[in-house]
Amino acid sequence: MQHLLAKPGSAITASLEGFALCYPDLLRVHFDPDYVTRAISPSQPKVALISGSGSGHEPLPTGYVGAGMLDAACPGPIFTSASPNQLLAAARDVGRQPGVLFIVKNYSGGVLNSSLAMEMAEEEGILAQSILVNDDVAIKNPLNRRGLGATILSMKIAGAAAEAGLSLEKVAAVGQRTVENARSMGIGMDVHTLSRAIHSGELPDDTIELGVGIHGEPGTNYRVSHGIEEIVDALMEPIVADLPFQAGDQVLALVSGLGGTPLLELFLFFRHIHGYLKKRGVVVQRQLVGNYLTSLGRGGCTVTLLRLDPELTALWDAPVHTPALRW
């Protein structure tokens, strides 16, 4: 598998420079430490949303900086959390009354570094809170669950609440409620597209990995005998059963490719997911299909269901203007 990369150590910086050139009207990219902010600050004081993530998951997190979502994003090294210094620099830049909300995926490095950044920010008089995203049902213990697609949904919904002028406590509460009502799981294919340092070997043609993580964490090898319906059943049953989702529920369905699956296949996959939910009386009220949370171009996807209510739906529908999401 060939990749277009600069020499080791320069790829992330060079990519950020290219990113800045693509969106000069939307973003400002800062270096040493690296972070991205809105090009134009909000006209009125509002809660500032910040998120950090390892590189390799693009467009997460930098592609979600803009009106209606993040005020700043901090890209770490490949599959490695942003540092406390990055997060603190971003908080200093965008931090204002009534405070800063950190959106944190439940990985040990991200949790630790965000906690340290919050402590340092508060020592400087920046009011800070955080929400923890832990929606991956492949992990049985909810305390240990990884953050997947609910990261994007909470960014959008909390971002809309912040844009509407809600207090830090209310923005954090609606963001956390989004996470609590979301469940996700992923499948992986084409293991050889990941770095050998992260994963080795290839899957047989009739086998997928069920319950993969987005950093190359392996799932369970699952041999497919009856096609895509069997894959959808194996993926959706743990998601639906965990909340649980019930007949009459209205949901937002997010299908995010891991970067190596064509849109044709993602739309085909969504068609079967929609049918699976319809049979069970679960209404797909909103949907999002594409590459929104990737893993260095691996084949496969993650699926996230969010149980909606009128407030969450209205906040999801609110205007957004970022490189990766806009309406």
Taking only the tens place, the pLDDT of each residue in 140-185 is: 999 999 999 999 999 999 999 999 999 999 999 999 999 999 999 9
Sheet holding 283-290, edge to edge: 220-223, 207-210, 182-189, 299-307, 250-257, 283-290
- N-to-C CA span, the chain: 35
The pLDDT-based confidence of 193 (bands split at 50, 70, 90) is: very low
Domain spans, the chain: 11-181, 183-307
Same fold, 11-181 and 183-307: no
* CA dist., res. 52 & res. 130, Å (int): 12
State the average pLDDT over residues 72-94.
97
Question: Identity (one letter) of the amino acid at 220?
Answer: T
User: pLDDT, tens digit, for every residue of 260-315?
Assistant: 999 999 999 999 999 999 999 999 999 999 999 999 989 999 999 999 999 999 99
Active site residues: 57, 215
Fold of 183-307: Hypothetical Protein Tm841; Chain: A;domain 3 (3.30.1180)
State phi, psi for 280 to the nearest 5 degrees: -100, 5
**DSSP 3-state of 208:** strand
The pLDDT-based confidence of 196 (bands split at 50, 70, 90) is: very low
**Which CATH number is 11-181 given?**
3.40.50.10440
- The H-assigned helical ranges of the chain are 11-22, 84-94, 108-123, 150-163, 168-180, 228-242, 263-279, 310-317
Query: Are the C-beta atoms of 136 and 145 separated by less than 8 Å?
Result: yes
Buried b (16+ CB within 10 A) or exposed e, 276-315: bbeeeebeeebebbebbbbbbbbbbbbbbbbbbeeebbeb
* CA dist., res. 51 & res. 258, Å (int): 20
Q: What percent of the chain has pLDDT over 90?
A: 82
Match 């679960």 to its residue by tokens. 282
* CA dist., res. 314 & res. 317, Å (int): 5
CA atoms within 13 A on the CB side of 6: 10
Residue 224: is its pLDDT beyond 80?
Answer: no
Q: Which range (154-158, 202-206, 228-232) has the least confidence?
A: 202-206
Task: Please state at what angle helix 310-317 crosses helix 168-180, rounded to 10 degrees.
Answer: 110
Long-range contacts of 56-60 (CB under 8 A, 24+ apart): 56/294, 56/295, 56/296, 57/214, 57/293, 57/294, 57/295, 58/294, 59/291, 59/292, 59/294, 59/323, 59/324, 60/151, 60/152, 60/292, 60/293, 60/294
* CA dist., res. 193 & res. 1, Å (int): 6
**DSSP 3-state of 39:** coil
The pLDDT-based confidence of 189 (bands split at 50, 70, 90) is: confident
DSSP 177-207: HHHHTEEEEEEEE-GGGS-TTT------TTE
pLDDT for position 290: 98
Q: Is the peptide bond before 59 cis (omega within 30 degrees of 0)?
A: yes
The pLDDT-based confidence of 3 (bands split at 50, 70, 90) is: low
Match 């009354």 to its residue by tokens. 97
The token duo for 203 is 């899957």
